[in-house]
Structure 1
Amino acid sequence: MTPNRRTLLAAPLALCAGGLAACDRFAAAEPTPPVVPPLKSVSPAPFGTAIKAMQIDDPDWVALARANVSQLTPEWEMKMEYVLANGLGRPNFDRTDRIAAFAQANGMAMHGHTLIWYSQGAEAFSGLTGAAFDRAFDGYIAAMAGRYRGKVRSWDVVNEPILDDGSGMRDCHWSARYGHDGYILRAFEKARIADPQAVLFLNEYNQESVPAKGAQFLKLVERLLKAGCPLQGLGLQSHLWIDIPEGVIAAYMRKIGQFGLPIHVSELDCTLRTDRRLDFRGQADRLAAQGARVTELASAFAALPKVQQFAFTVWGLRDTDSWYRQGAKDDGRDKPLPFDSFGRPNPIAAALAAGFQD
């Protein structure tokens, strides 16, 4: 993720400065790390994590990944912001090539993330119009998906096309040229040509937690399928927070599962942060709420028909790898990922194992 996207995702969870720190005096002592089996051994589908190329140089991260992970998603280096940092004529594939080689060497699958995203590409495509824009759009997808043909299992073809409040589709440089549904259709069609074997996903966040957004996503999927789009899978990012009402996540999983398409829980994390102005819950209570939400998600995924259980991916392994733990607001107390900074299981890891085995 990039800072812009982090801002969007964090919007429902906006905290006053020091919100968690103000509650420290109410926090209970940290619990003893739970005993959890390797997550890939209990997941009903390939268990994945986001990866940055630099983590390949961290032996502790590598050992943790080898023990728990069977699929990798490049967190940033496969996005247009990095690939086209030097312009359309000089794409950067170096870091993604390294991740692909690491995945292959360690017997891990790879999920491509992402070909077309409203948040990126405006600078690289600036000044292009008409047929030149079309050639660049089609050529980028052909180059990316073609380069990793046979190396990736699947692609997030289009990422986050819906407005945060679910009131409609996002306006962007892609929709300005092709229309809101048109750029999605074109991207999927070109990706299908570039890699006929990869499973093609539409990826979005907050579907399960913002009802209007979830409804808009379902309507979009219906329109795309009716239009003949080669859409083959649905990505549920699942950036969760602890105050999502009980039952909402499972209910949405049932709704999205009705299309019969493979489901990828593609970017799971669960922050302990809250948008409550006054919240006197201690750390133990926050962790209990977090565990309930994560167990609900894992259980709902495990309840899908086997053919729809495509993969289950966390957006990082260790808390300190998380985008929630970056920047000045980090007080060191958030535990959004399965392992702590020392690679010890967090309560989330136990919640995942419990949900998978329900």
Structure 2
Amino acid sequence: MRADPPRLNRRALLAAPIALAACDRFAAAEPAAGPPAAPLKSITPCPFGAIGMTWQLDQADWVEQVRRHCSQLTPEWEQKMERTLGPGFTHDFSASDRMVAFARDNGLRVHGHTLIWYSQGGDVFNDDVPRARFAAEFDRYISSFVSRYRGRMAGWDVVNEPVAEDGDGLRDCHWSRALGMDGYMVRAFEQARAADPDAVLFLNEYNLENIPRKGATFLKLVERLLKLGAPIGGIGTQSHLNIEIPAGQITAFMRDAASLGLPIHISELDFPMQRDGGQLPDLRSTAERRAQQVARVGELAEAFMALPQRQRYAFTTWGLRDIDSWLLREEGKNRPDESPVLLDAAGGPNPAYQAVVDAFTGRAGA
């Protein structure tokens, strides 16, 4: 029986079928063969990260693979309000403490995830709470959490997923109703900065590469919040990739994001081959899906590699091995046939692994 089971609530990825461009140089990539996967932390031009939960700390094989491949760890669930916030504005950071201690003991830096998310906290921070109390508890939560690990966290996802699903404006939520649409975000960043001046503070969002309109809205939001004085230190793009998007779309977003000059975190990378929802059957062959998958991951890695070194914060996959991914786990999407991350169940290379290696070592397109 797993301890601390999460209730994951990831959104479906955009699924608009298109033909893969014939000129896409990654499309012909074959599954990696030969020796075991080289440690990813020795290949990436920045820290390589993965996620973890407390029940995995007792799995020797998971610990072994994390030690081999990772230089950074993101708690998957233990720092979300679902776990940390209780009735009456009580706080419980014990599960988070375990993850941070594990990282420290194994020489990993930690990226905090996440302080303020529209999806959680509304049962305690509800519309019946007087506004003065709401604001005071909002400040206390962030200050207590971030200061607890002052000097021990590389960065934090301070605000998570503030942009509307389709990119048309921002999400209305319990935070915005009480503190203002931009106000709650500015306030969150200010509180986090006061609690730990050295941590890099991120605005984190998904579907930025998949939906150009959402990517544009997100970048405009970053610019606006910076002008309002929010101490945003980095951009987190989750990169739950829709492998059917057109070639070049990922590159275009990364180029636009880089223009802001902030560090960029590939914060939750995965790349499922199966579509979510839709009325039409998926008639793509396995080979076509694999080619699309390898192409898109290769493009992302190349676009990330093209960033100035100072803007490469970290490259993080949402699950180290296939069996660690929320897409395969029973409490997630429960898709046992997926291969949505870089390593297979045994820690060997999945097909997309070689595309990342080629991009990060300068061999892509050779």
TM-score by length of 2: 0.88
Q: Is the 8 A contact 2:147 2:196 kept in 1?
A: yes
3-state SS of paired residue (1:191): helix
Q: How does 1:254-273 map to 2 (within 5 A)?
A: 254-273=255-274
The corresponding residue for 1:350 is 354
Task: Deviation per CA, 1:76-99: give whole Å up to 9, x if none.
Answer: 11011100145422x221111111
Deviation at 1:55, TM superposition (A): 0.9
Q: Which amino acid aligns with 1:322?
A: S
Aligned partners of 2:345 and 2:33: how far apart in 1? 12
Deviation at 1:219, TM superposition (A): 1.0
3-state SS of paired residue (1:61): helix
The corresponding residue for 2:20 is none
Match of 2:294 among 291, 296, 300: 291
Aligned partners of 1:272 and 1:37: how far apart in 2? 24
Task: Deviation per CA, 1:217-262: give whole Å up to 9, x if none.
Answer: 0110111111121111000100002101101001110000001000
The corresponding residue for 1:341 is 345
3-state SS of paired residue (1:304): coil
Q: Is the 8 A contact 1:39 1:349 kept in 2?
A: no
What is the total number of aligned residue pairs between the two structures? 341
Task: Extract unaligned runs of 5+ from structure 2.
Answer: 18-29
- Does the alignment pair 1:75 with 2:76? yes
Aligned partners of 1:232 and 1:347: how far apart in 2? 33
Q: Is the 8 A contact 1:50 1:314 kept in 2?
A: yes
Aligned partners of 1:163 and 1:272: how far apart in 2? 25
TM-score by length of 1: 0.90
Aligned partners of 1:87 and 1:345: how far apart in 2? 47
The corresponding residue for 1:22 is none
3-state SS of paired residue (2:12): helix
3-state SS of paired residue (1:311): strand
Q: How does 1:40-189 map to 2 (within 5 A)?
A: 40-89=41-90, 91-126=91-126, 127-189=128-190
Q: Which amino acid aligns with 1:73?
A: T
Task: State which drifts further: 332-341 or 139-148.
Answer: 332-341
Task: State which drifts further: 68-77 or 280-289.
Answer: 280-289
- Does the alignment pair 1:309 with 2:312? yes
Q: Is the 8 A contact 1:204 1:236 kept in 2?
A: yes
Aligned partners of 1:189 and 1:316: how far apart in 2? 31
Deviation at 1:14, TM superposition (A): 10
Q: Which amino acid aligns with 2:14?
A: P
RMSD between superposed Cα atoms in Å: 2.1
Aligned partners of 2:246 and 2:299: how far apart in 1? 11
Q: Is the 8 A contact 2:301 2:359 kept in 1?
A: yes
Task: Deviation per CA, 1:150-173: give whole Å up to 9, x if none.
Answer: 111101000000001011100000
Q: Is the 8 A contact 2:327 2:335 kept in 1?
A: no
Q: Which amino acid aligns with 1:103?
A: A
The corresponding residue for 2:24 is none
The corresponding residue for 2:12 is 10
Aligned partners of 2:335 and 2:82: how far apart in 1? 29
Aligned partners of 1:204 and 1:55: how far apart in 2? 26
Task: State which drifts further: 347-356 or 290-299.
Answer: 347-356
The corresponding residue for 1:241 is 242
Seen in structure 2, the aligned counterparts of structure 1 residues 130 and 274 have a Cα distance that, compared at 3 Å, is closer
Aligned partners of 2:34 and 2:52: how far apart in 1? 24
Task: Extract unaligned runs of 5+ from structure 1.
Answer: 16-29
Deviation at 1:3, TM superposition (A): 5.3
Deviation at 1:31, TM superposition (A): 5.6
Aligned partners of 2:93 and 2:116: how far apart in 1? 16
Seen in structure 2, the aligned counterparts of structure 1 residues 288 and 141 have a Cα distance that, compared at 3 Å, is same
Q: Which amino acid aligns with 1:318?
A: R
Deviation at 1:208, TM superposition (A): 1.0
Task: Deviation per CA, 1:61-116: give whole Å up to 9, x if none.
Answer: 11111110000000011011100145422x22111111111111111100011110
Deviation at 1:340, TM superposition (A): 1.7
The corresponding residue for 1:26 is none
Seen in structure 2, the aligned counterparts of structure 1 residues 152 and 164 have a Cα distance that, compared at 3 Å, is same
Larger % of helix: which? Answer: 1
Deviation at 1:284, TM superposition (A): 2.7
3-state SS of paired residue (2:229): coil
3-state SS of paired residue (2:157): strand
3-state SS of paired residue (1:12): coil
Q: Which amino acid aligns with 1:336?
A: P
Seen in structure 2, the aligned counterparts of structure 1 residues 244 and 3 have a Cα distance that, compared at 3 Å, is farther
State the identity as a percent. 52
Q: Is the 8 A contact 2:265 2:313 kept in 1?
A: yes
3-state SS of paired residue (1:225): helix
Q: Which amino acid aligns with 1:93?
A: F
Q: Is the 8 A contact 2:47 2:72 kept in 1?
A: yes
- Does the alignment pair 1:318 with 2:321? yes
